[in-house]
Amino acid sequence: MNAIELMVAEHVNIRRMLIILRQFSYQLMNNPEMDVSDAPKMIEFVRQYADKHHHGKEEDLLFNRMEEHLGSAAQKLVRHGMLVEHDLGRLHIKLLEESIENFKNGQDEARLDIIGNAIAYTQLLDRHITKEDDMVYQFAWKHFESHMIQTINEETNQFEGNAEKEGIQKYYLNLLNELEKKYIK
Ligand SMILES: [Fe+2]
Ligand SMILES: [Fe+2]
């Protein structure tokens, strides 16, 4: 698998979490007494797998090179598009985390903020992933010189190997399976 194929495969896993977040939100909408103790696991997946593991590779191995080597259109696309969306996603997750705490402390109205931020995050990420799969990644692979593609592939393999030693991929795929069993009917 080259770096792009790997990142497209990671998008499939991230989208599985988006479906879990939507189902969790729907169940919370219908049940004001719902146990929300799994929410921190969902937030952990988003922060550690989607953001650190996946966006980490995009930002440090791919997008930085696009900005540097592929001209002003690529620079704008990355800086004002993809990176802004990564940051907006982080904001929704931070607000989601705060609203979970408020709900646990007895504020029923915080359910609005939980659902609002969870759904906003899923819609943002879904569109973001489509843009990357269909346009950003293709643009990069078409315009990079072959030595650059080789460097990105090598560094991606190294990054994956290090994460594998820590058991990152396995841990978060297991977490996905566990949460799907509970929330996907
Ligand atoms: Fe991204
Ligand atoms: Fe991505």
d(CA 57, CA 6): 10
Region 23-38: mean pLDDT is 98
Q: Which residues are near ligand 2, the ion (C-beta closer than 5 Å)?
A: 132
Q: Which ligand has the minimum distance to the alpha carbon of residue 77?
A: 1
What's the sign of the alpha-carbon dihedral 86, 168, 129, 134? Answer: positive
d(CA 8, CA 134): 10
Q: Work out the mean pLDDT of the chain and round it to a whole number.
A: 97
Q: Give pTM, 2 decimals.
A: 0.97
Which of 128 and 185 is assigned the larger pLDDT?
A: 128
Where in 23-81 does DSSP place strands (E)?
none
106 alpha carbon – ligand 1 mean position (Å):
35
7 alpha carbon – ligand 2 mean position (Å):
6
d(CA 152, CA 6): 12
Quote the number of domains for the chain.
1
Confidence of residue 185 (pLDDT cuts 50, 70, 90): confident
d(CA 41, CA 58): 23
Return the CATH number at 64.
1.20.120.520
96 alpha carbon – ligand 2 mean position (Å):
21
pLDDT tens string 129-162: 999 999 999 999 999 999 999 999 999 999 999 9
Q: What is the predicted pLDDT for the residue at 88? A: 98
pLDDT tens string 59-90: 999 999 999 999 999 999 999 999 999 999 99
**In the predicted structure, residue 40 carries a pLDDT above the cut 90:** yes
Domain enclosing residue 93, as ranges: 3-183
